[in-house]
C-alpha cells in the first residue's frame, strides 16, 4: 500500500492542508533551533502532532520539507513587507528610501512575526543550502537593486561602488538591530524613550543618517566630475 493510500485509509485528516501547515510551522521551529543537519523528522512530527507518513505524503523527504519551510518564511516576508513600503513610485526619492527602510525595520521588529522566520534565515546565511540561492534571486537581489536604483536617482554622479556601498550600509544599519538584539537589549536596558526598538524613531534616524551620507557622497562626486573640491571650491 502506498503512503497516500495509507494516509487516506487510516487517517484522512493527515492528508489535508491543515496538516501540511502544521508540519511547516513545526519544521520551521525545529530547523531554526537545531539546523538542517541535526533536525529530525521524528521531532518535527512530534511537535506538529502528525505521523511520519504525513511528511512523506506532503513533502517526500526532509530536504523538500526544509526547502518548502524556507520558501514559506520567504513568501511571508515578501507579502507582508513589500520593498517599497507602500510609498508610491511618484513620491520624492527621499520618501521612497524612507519607505524601504521602514518596511525592512517593520519586518525585523514585528512582534507578530513567527520568531523562527528570522532565525531560520539567519541559519541559512551561516549554513547555506540550495535554498539560499532561491532567497537571493527572488528576494535579496531584487530588493537590493531597488534600493540601489533609489540611491542612484538621488546621487546621479555616484559610481557603482559608491551606490552599492551605500545600499549595503543602509541594510547593515537595519540588520544591526536584528543580529545584535541580545547585546542591544543589555546595552540600552535603562532607556525609557523607546530606543532602540521604536519603529518610527529608528526609521527616522537611519533615514536621516543615510540621506545625509548620500548627499555628501554626491557632492564629492560632482566635485570630482567638475575638477573642483566639495562645496564648489578649487
> How far lies 142's CA from each of 19, 86, 148, in Å?
33, 16, 10
Mean pLDDT of the region 92-118: 93
The pLDDT of residue 111:
84
Does position 7 have pLDDT exceeding 50, yes or no?
A: no
Residue 6, pLDDT score: 44
Query: With bands split at pLDDT 50, 70 and 90, how would you rate the model's confidence at 101?
Result: very high
Long-range contacts of 39-46 (CB under 8 A, 24+ apart): 39/66, 41/65
Taking residues 136-150, report their average pLDDT: 95
Q: How many residues does the chain have?
A: 234
Do 100 and 164 meet the contact criterion of CB atoms below 8 Å apart? Answer: no
pLDDT of residue 10: 40
The pLDDT of 118-147, averaged and rounded, is: 91
Between CA 217 and CA 162 the distance in angstroms is 8
Mean of the per-residue pLDDT values of the chain: 89
pLDDT at 232 over 70: no
Q: Are 203 and 105 in contact (CB under 8 A)?
A: yes
Query: Has this prediction a pTM greater than 0.95?
Result: no
The three cell numbers of residue 160 are 557603482
- Asked if pLDDT for residue 2 goes beyond 60, the answer is no
What's residue 145's pLDDT?
98
Please tell me the least confidently modeled range out of 2-6, 46-50, 187-191: 2-6
Query: Among 28-42, 61-75, 176-190, 217-231, which is the least confidently predicted range?
Result: 217-231
93: which 3 cell numbers?
526619492
pLDDT at position 228: 66
The model's confidence at residue 14, banded by pLDDT at 50, 70 and 90, is low
How confident is the model at residue 112, as a pLDDT?
85
Q: Grid coordinates representing 7? A: 494516509
Three-class secondary structure of residue 103 per DSSP: helix
Amino acid at each position: 500500500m502506498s503512503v497516500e493510500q495509507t494516509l487516506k485509509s487510516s487517517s484522512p485528516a493527515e492528508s489535508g492542508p491543515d496538516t501540511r501547515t502544521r508540519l511547516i510551522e513545526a519544521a520551521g521551529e525545529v530547523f531554526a533551533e537545531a539546523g538542517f543537519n541535526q533536525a529530525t523528522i521524528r521531532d518535527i512530527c512530534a511537535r506538529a502532532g502528525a505521523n511520519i507518513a504525513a511528511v512523506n505524503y506532503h513533502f517526500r523527504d526532509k530536504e523538500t520539507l526544509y526547502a518548502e519551510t524556507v520558501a514559506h518564511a520567504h513568501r511571508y516576508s515578501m507579502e507582508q513587507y513589500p520593498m517599497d513600503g507602500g510609498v508610491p513610485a511618484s513620491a520624492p526619492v527621499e520618501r521612497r528610501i524612507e519607505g524601504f527602510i521602514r518596511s525592512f525595520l517593520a519586518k525585523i521588529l514585528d512582534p507578530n512575526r513567527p520568531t523562527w522566520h528570522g532565525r531560520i534565515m539567519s541559519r541559512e546565511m551561516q549554513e547555506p543550502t540550495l535554498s539560499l540561492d532561491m532567497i537571493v534571486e527572488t528576494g535579496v537581489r531584487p530588493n537590493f537593486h531597488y534600493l540601489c536604483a533609489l540611491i542612484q536617482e538621488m546621487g546621479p554622479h555616484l559610481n557603482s561602488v559608491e551606490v552599492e556601498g551605500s545600499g549595503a550600509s543602509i541594510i547593515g544599519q537595519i540588520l544591526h538591530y536584528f543580529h545584535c538584539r541580545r547585546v542591544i537589549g543589555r546595552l540600552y536596558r535603562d532607556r525609557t524613550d523607546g530606543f532602540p526598538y521604536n519603529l518610527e524613531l529608528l526609521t527616522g534616524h537611519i533615514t536621516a543618517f543615510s540621506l545625509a551620507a548620500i548627499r555628501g557622497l554626491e557632492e564629492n562626486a560632482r566635485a570630482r566630475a567638475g575638477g573642483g573640491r566639495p562645496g564648489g571650491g578649487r
